[in-house]
């Protein structure tokens, strides 16, 4: 049961990588440094239900007059704020205490976003610019994983394999700067790994994934595949823990379409690093409950939102 509780405290985090605007909007679905969590590679070996609530806040920009592809057009820079709430329910199936265990998850997200963009013009009197702003709040694209397969190499080393899907269920308007949805299906094969060193109170976690987007039919914009890698090291001090999170998003090719072609493919990448604090307890003395808070500012980026205020808070309950 100990292994079941460890995995349950983090498994929902494995299944709910965070998201925002498309690569078309200089971010993509992943936010660097937010997909990894403590014990992320452990799927419980007993049948349980897991509830997970995540809250992301991101304040980022692409400045310096750099052109950004968004809403079927280009802008000379962009400032964006995002608050994304994700509620996840995961069912761990009764597959016995063997090396393999399996689960299924579903995530319902809600998003609030505010975007300010600058458009540059050239007229008879020379070059000038005009700013415009937009806000949106509504249900975001739903996210689900039909099958997650967990493998236990040993009592201290674990792996979880999943094939995750974002469905374009959120509202989308190609003429809007801010949209609750992305208007693309996104397919995310993912592998997570956890290694525990209980004698030292240490644990190491990593999540690697690829993201494959369908074409945005409203803007004829095709996002290139992305590779994401997030790693975490945590030191436990009783119920509390503290550590470091690092993450990167690397675009594996050029975007295509009329707007992307004008921007020479709009290929981007970023890297983020920051601290995390965790706390583990039990609700009513028997249901494992875990909290975490992290700050993962961007330290390097190209053609992606550069954010200094990127915060993620999570709560996970086993029942």
Q: Which of 108-122, 212-226, 240-254, 300-314 has the lowest mean pLDDT?
A: 108-122
Q: What is the pLDDT of residue 4?
A: 41
**Please, which pLDDT band fits residue 308 given cuts at 50, 70 and 90?**
confident
Q: What is the pLDDT of residue 26?
A: 47
Q: Which residue has the higher pLDDT, 190 or 307?
A: 190
Highest mean pLDDT (candidates 53-62, 206-215, 257-266): 206-215
For 152, other C-beta atoms within 10 Å of its C-beta total 20
Q: Give residue-wise pLDDT tens across range 208-232.
A: 999 999 999 998 999 999 999 999 9
Instruction: Report d(CA 97, CA 3) in Å as an integer.
Output: 10
* Pair of tokens at residue 38: 């403590």
Task: State the DSSP H helix or E strand holding residue 6, giving kind and residue range, or none if neither.
Answer: helix 2-15
- Phi–psi pair at 54, nearest 5 degrees: -125, 140
**Average model confidence (pLDDT) for the chain?**
86
Residue range 49-62: average pLDDT? 91
Instruction: Report d(CA 182, CA 185) in Å as an integer.
Output: 8
Residue 68, pLDDT > 90, answer no
Instruction: Report d(CA 79, CA 111) in Å as an integer.
Output: 17
* Pair of tokens at residue 300: 């390097």
- Ranges of each domain in the chain: 49-318
Q: What percent of the chain has pLDDT over 70?
A: 84
Instruction: Report d(CA 126, CA 128) in Å as an integer.
Output: 7
Q: What is the pLDDT of residue 178?
A: 86
* Pair of tokens at residue 283: 């609700």
Q: What is the pLDDT of residue 162?
A: 96
For residue 82, give the nearest of 167, 177, 11, 211 by alpha carbon.
177
Radius of gyration of the chain (CA): 20
Q: The whole model's pTM is what?
A: 0.89
Q: Give residue-wise pLDDT tens across range 160-215.
A: 999 999 999 999 998 888 888 899 999 999 999 999 999 999 999 999 999 999 99
**Please, which pLDDT band fits residue 13 given cuts at 50, 70 and 90?**
very low
CATH topology of domain 49-318: Lipocalin (2.40.128)
* Pair of tokens at residue 313: 């808070």
Instruction: Report d(CA 257, CA 201) in Å as an integer.
Output: 50
Instruction: Report d(CA 97, CA 231) in Å as an integer.
Output: 27
Task: State the DSSP H helix or E strand holding residue 254, giving kind and residue range, or none if neither.
Answer: none
Which of 179-206 are b and which e, b meaning 16 or more Cβ less than 10 Å from the residue's Cβ? Answer: bbbbbbebebebebbbbbeeeeeebbbb
Overall size of the chain counted in residues: 319
Q: What is the pLDDT of residue 72?
A: 62
Q: Which residue has the higher pLDDT, 132 or 82?
A: 82
Residue tagged 């007229």 (tokens)? 123
Residue 16, pLDDT > 70, answer no
Pairing of strands 298-302, 100-123: unpaired
Instruction: Report d(CA 107, CA 169) in Å as an integer.
Output: 12
* Pair of tokens at residue 193: 């790994």
For residue 282, give the nearest of 237, 314, 317, 315 by alpha carbon.
317
For residue 141, give the nearest of 159, 166, 105, 160 by alpha carbon.
166
Q: Which residue has the higher pLDDT, 126 or 231?
A: 231
Q: What is the pLDDT of residue 188?
A: 96
């Amino acid at each position: 049961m100990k292994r079941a509780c460890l995995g349950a405290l983090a498994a929902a985090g494995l299944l709910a990588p965070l998201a925002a605007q498309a690569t078309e909007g200089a971010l993509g679905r992943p936010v660097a440094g937010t997909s990894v969590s403590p014990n992320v590679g452990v799927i419980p070996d007993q049948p349980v239900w897991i509830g997970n609530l995540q809250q992301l806040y991101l304040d980022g920009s692409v400045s310096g007059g750099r052109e950004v592809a968004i809403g079927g057009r280009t802008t000379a820079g962009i400032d964006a704020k995002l608050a994304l709430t994700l509620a996840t329910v995961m069912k761990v199936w009764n597959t016995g205490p063997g090396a393999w265990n399996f689960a299924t998850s579903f995530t319902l997200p809600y998003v609030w976003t505010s975007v300010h963009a600058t458009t540059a013009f050239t007229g008879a009197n020379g070059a000038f610019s005009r700013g415009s702003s937009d806000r949106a709040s509504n249900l975001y694209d739903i996210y689900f994983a039909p099958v997650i397969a967990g493998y236990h190499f040993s009592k201290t080393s674990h792996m979880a394999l999943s094939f995750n899907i974002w469905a374009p269920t959120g509202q989308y308007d190609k003429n809007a700067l801010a949209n609750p949805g992305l208007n693309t299906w996104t397919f995310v094969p993912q592998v997570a790994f956890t290694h525990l060193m209980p004698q030292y109170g240490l644990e190491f976690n990593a999540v690697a994934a690829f993201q494959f987007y369908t074409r945005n039919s409203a803007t004829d914009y095709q996002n290139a595949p992305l590779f994401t890698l997030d790693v975490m090291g945590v030191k436990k001090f009783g119920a509390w823990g503290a550590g470091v999170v690092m993450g990167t998003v690397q675009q594996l090719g050029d975007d295509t379409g009329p707007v992307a072609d004008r921007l020479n493919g709009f290929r981007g990448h970023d890297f983020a690093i920051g601290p995390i604090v965790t706390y583990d307890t039990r609700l009513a003395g028997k249901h494992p409950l875990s909290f975490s808070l992290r700050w993962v500012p961007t330290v390097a980026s190209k053609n992606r939102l550069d954010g200094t205020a990127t915060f993620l808070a999570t709560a996970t309950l086993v029942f």
